[in-house]
Amino acid sequence: MLRAFLLYLSRAAWARRLVTRWRFARRAAARFVAGDTLEQTLPVIRGLNEAGLYVTLDHLGENVTSQVEAEGATGAYLQMLQTLADQGVSASVSLKLTQLGLALDKGLALENLRRIVERAAQLGNFVRIDMEDSPWIDATLEIYYALRDSGLDNVGVVIQSYLFRSEADTRTLLKRKARIRLVKGAYDEPPQIAYARKKDVDANFDRLTALILDAMAEHEHDIDVAQGQRPPILAVATHDEKRIDFAKEYAQRVGVSRGALEFQMLFGIRNELQRRLAAQGYPVRVYIPYGTEWYPYFMRRLAERPANLWFFLSNLLRR
């Protein structure tokens, strides 16, 4: 119930107007959002790189309402790619297609994304398409396949374990040797299409992890290891140590090396676990968001874990 309410607030315009006026709310969000600008975020990226951690960078924003906004977001990502190259930091890119105009026109989003992925390829970088809530899944996968069919392979996608459809989607993606980030899912989905109980989401997460690792082991000569911005076939994106332990043990059982199993975590959450996994020889990539459109992202982080919500409420009480 609380999670559903917080996810509702993440989409509510009135709540956004209220919360974003609170200075302490932006200070609380700074735990999860590295800065308002790329320039403010660069030192964070450098610090993580120096600690042996990879980075994926998200310029916050979603659900744009005009072509002008979509073009502006596209330009921001193109500039981000150039700045990362110029500054010599190691960071791939994550983005949402509704930020590139998917809600306006699928063709517009495809062409905007194509420009970004082509530029990333020229600069030796990689782009991950974040998966949004269920109305956008089919279009997102169609756009991903269109880019792959055009010869671009420096692009990956996300699968959410709370959806019933995810096993079928994963099997299709594996036939295309897709680079998959596996997450639990952060949106409020109806029970007709998504698991409602955490234990079922977790069980499906482990099933999908095993499915992907089995495919990697079956084609051992094709297994990729993490190299700079380019992630391997499977990125296990969770802070849940039981899911992490399952992935580690199953990979060892089927013969997938540590360098071919990447773990991804969010900036500001479980920093000690990130460094522990990296010390064990696993590639670890930190998802760093930045930008002024922090409100929806922040509210979804509060909805995910009670500890995050308590962190926010404790700041509110102190205020």
Residues serving a catalytic function are: 130, 181
Q: What is the helix (H) or strand (E) element at residue 290, kind and residue range?
A: strand 284-290
Angle at 198 between CA 203 and CA 316, to 5 degrees: 145
Q: Which residue has the tokens 């509704």?
A: 98
CA dist., res. 203 & res. 200, Å (int): 5
**What SS3 state is found at 58?**
strand
Q: What is the helix (H) or strand (E) element at residue 85, kind and residue range?
A: helix 67-87
R_g of the chain, CA atoms, integer Å = 19
Dihedral sign computed on CA atoms, order 196, 199, 202, 208: negative
Angle at 312 between CA 310 and CA 316, to 5 degrees: 110
Packed helices 198-218 and 241-254: angle between N→C axes, nearest 10 degrees: 20
Length of the chain: 319
